[in-house]
Amino acid sequence: MESSRGPPRVKNKAAAPIQISAEQLLREAVDRQDEKLKAPTQRFADLEELHEWQGRKRKEFEDYVRRNRINMNNWMRYAQWELEQKEFRRARSIFERALDVDSTSVVLWIRYCEAEMKSRNINHARNVFDRAVTVLPRVDKLWYKYVYMEETLGNIEGARAVFERWMQWEPEEAAWSAYIKLEKRHGEFEKARAIFERFTVVHPEPKNWIKWAKFEEENGTSDLVRDVFGTAVETLGDDFMDEKLFMAYAKFEAKLKELERARAIYKFALDRMPRSKSVNLHKAFTQFEKQYGDRDGIEDVILSKRRVHYEEQIKENPKNYDAWIDFARLEEASGNTDRVRDVYERAIAQIPPTQEKRHWRRYIYLWLFYAIFEETVSQDIERTRQIYQECLRLLPHKRFTFAKVWLMAAHFEIRQGDLTKARKLLGQAIGKCPKDKLFKVYIEIEMKLFEFGRCRQLYAKYIEFNGANTQTWIKFAELERGLDDLDRARAIFELAVEEPLLDMPELLWKAYIDFEESEGEYDRTRALYKRLLEKTDHVKVWTSWAQFELGVPDPDAPATEDEDQPPSPAAIARARAVFDAAHTRMKDRDLKEERVALLNAWKSFEDEIGTPEDKEKINKQMPRKVKKRRKLDDDSFEEYVDYVFPADDKSAANLAKLMANAAAWKKQKEQQQQAQQVEEGE
């Protein structure tokens, strides 16, 4: 049967208009307590009734501890009840029985001791504390209670004796601090100082040294404070340095207005601590310099920061030569010669691990920068010479060398006015490890000294070392030409063009041709062009020959100094003959691309100085572009551009002839129609 009632109504969950606090509820509960509900006070009529009740309670407690001996709460409630009954012996017996069950219960020992102290059984309490700390020497709470009891009783010597027993176990830092506070409270500062000394041996953390220093600052002298900080720095060493220790030391000195001492402390710490562990120290030093220092001091701070940064990089990777170079530059900027030398000496000691040139490329700059510094800044000439000698001795010249080292050493000797040593160095370099750069610079030096005989010898050795270098031959020939020895220059060029392997033979031929042309040897120049064209059919060679012929003066023409004089007809004819010969050869050898380039050059030539007939003639020879298709290896096709030359295209010639015949037939047909119309009109 369905209920006729609707859905349940939602109760009002809003806050009540009158709020009642928990405190009010508790107060009302206390005030409204019913006196009848309170536990009745038990009253005993005589001593026998009291003893009977005590016997029942003891039996209950005994049953509790017998059923659950491990539960120390039962024992402590039992002992506490006996204490309330003033049965101290019974309570002591209960505590002892409980300790037989569990002698490691700290709470039980403390309750036992507190019970003896409340009962004013001081000797009993001492005995219990003594047993407790003997059984549980690592429980600090027992020691604290023991010491507190002795100090409360005014037995300072006893408290000190307890502390001494405790310190033999080397407890935590708080125990030592409590011992020190005890001595301070009673004015025994010498004893407190002795405790600090032992304390820092057991716990040599920086914060404990700082505590000792603060103690000396408050109760001692400034010399004692310095002794503490100095001993701390020596004891901790470089491995366990802490920035807080140095900051506290420096702040102490700054407080005494010993600014130089404080600055020295900051610098000492920053030079030895890694950057990752001295961030706050850097900030403190910067703040110190801003407050007490000048511009130089602030710059020193910045230098010290960067110095620490580079030291970290070098420590992480001793073979990081870029970091060494930056470090040396930094020290050079500081102006401290000893520091610069120290950095360079440490850097060059990091020899690359393998004899591969790529590992030595950056390393070698350390030697060079070191030598430059000694020569220009320190001006120690003998030391600079030793650096170059040691560097050259270190390089594995049989595998590779660095020409820049030899050359810089030679230039150094030249600056010292000792040409003999410079030549000796360069001679050794060429003998041990010849390189193009060595020969070039050595020759330049001898050229500046006008030692042309030495230059010839060096060029001869250079060519013997690397005969494929075109520039060497050209420079050698230019030297002889500059000395007006044309036969030598020509002989050098002849030897060069006969060389089977040249890196850029076209430059050599061009230099030889320009040499003969500049000397007015036109027949020799033509012969060189012909010899060159036996080796190559390059368009530029033909074009250059044509331009040469165009510029050759007519031997029968009068001499003139006008450079803009137009070329003679004979020169034009010779140039055109060169173009024609080139075109014929390329046509015979079917060199289409070269032929197109030649025709374009020929067309430019005719457009500049040719007659209309010549221009028309060359225009008729210009090819047209045609798109063609060819089959590839993978059976696909690709389009390419080909050139069709009118002189070679027979189909074009036939088509032109056919078109001419068609035009003639059409013209004849029109004439016949006109004649027929005239006859009909008449």
| pLDDT range class, residue 372, cuts 50, 70, 90 | very high
pLDDT reported for residue 6: 54
Q: Nearest to residue 576, comparing CAs of 540, 547, 556?
A: 547
pLDDT greater than 80 at residue 651: no
Q: How many CA atoms lie within 13 A of 95 on its CB side?
A: 26
Beta strands in 137-197 (DSSP E): none
Total domains in the chain come to 1
Q: Which of 252-256, 340-344, 397-401, 550-554 has the lowest mean pLDDT?
A: 550-554
% the chain with pLDDT above 70: 89
The more confidently predicted of residues 605 and 393 is 393
74 or 198, which is more confident: 198
Is residue 424's pLDDT more than 60? yes
Rg of the chain in Å (alpha carbons): 56
The answer to the question of residue 171 being in a domain is: no
pLDDT band at 294 (very low <50, low <70, confident <90, very high): low
Write out the H or E segment, with its range, that includes residue 182: helix 173-185
Cα 342 from Cα 345, distance rounded (Å):
5
Per-chain mean pLDDT for the chain: 80
Name residue, tokens 């002298």.
Answer: 221
Q: Which residue has the higher pLDDT, 472 or 644?
A: 472
Burial class, 304, CB count within 10 angstroms (exposed 0-12 / middle 13-18 / buried 19+): buried
**Is residue 657 included in any domain, yes or no?**
yes
The contacts of residue 170 (CB under 8 Å, 6+ apart) are 202
Summarised one tens digit per residue, pLDDT across range 571-619 is 777 877 877 787 788 777 777 777 778 778 877 777 777 777 777 777 7
Local structure of residue 275 (DSSP, 8 states): G
Residue 643 phi/psi, 5° resolution? -115, 135
What is the pLDDT, as a whole number, of residue 657?
67
Exposure string over 394-420, b if 16+ CB within 10 A, otherwise e: ebeeeeebbbebbbbbbebbbeeeeee
Mean pLDDT to the nearest integer, 211-224: 85
What percentage of the chain carries pLDDT values higher than 90? 0
Contact call for residues 568 and 560 (beta carbons, < 8 A): no
Structure tokens at 172: 């935590």
CA distance 572 to 567: 7
Q: Which domain holds residue 618?
A: 569-670
Total residue length of the chain: 682
- Residue 191 forms part of a structural domain: no
360 class by beta-carbon count within 10 Å (0-12 exposed, 13-18 middle, 19+ buried): buried
State how far the Cα of 152 lies from the Cα of 182, in Å rounded to an integer.
12
Tokens matching residue 445 = 């030096």
Helix (H, G, I), strand (E, B), or coil: what is residue 634?
Answer: coil
**Cβ count near 127 (within 10 Å):** 13
Q: Quick check: is 355 in a domain?
A: no
Nearest Cα to Cα of residue 496 among 478, 484, 482: 478
What would the two tokens of residue 406 be? 């030899």
Question: In this structure, which amino acid lies at residue 394?
Answer: L
Q: How far is CA 661 from the centre of its chain?
A: 85
Q: Is residue 629 part of a domain?
A: yes
The pLDDT value given to residue 18: 78
Contact criterion met (CB below 8 Å) for 236 and 204: yes
Residue 235 lies in a domain: no
Q: Let me know if residue 275 belongs to a domain.
A: no
Closest CA to 196 of 229, 165, 223, 169: 229
Query: Tokens representing 285?
Result: 């030093």
Closest CA to 441 of 413, 410, 416: 410
pLDDT of the residue at 8: 60
Contact 147, 163 (CB under 8 A): yes
Q: Which residue would you say has higher pLDDT here, 74 or 45?
A: 74
Residue 380 lies in a domain: no
Q: What value does the mean pLDDT take over residues 539-544?
A: 82
Mean pLDDT over residues 555-572, rounded?
Answer: 62
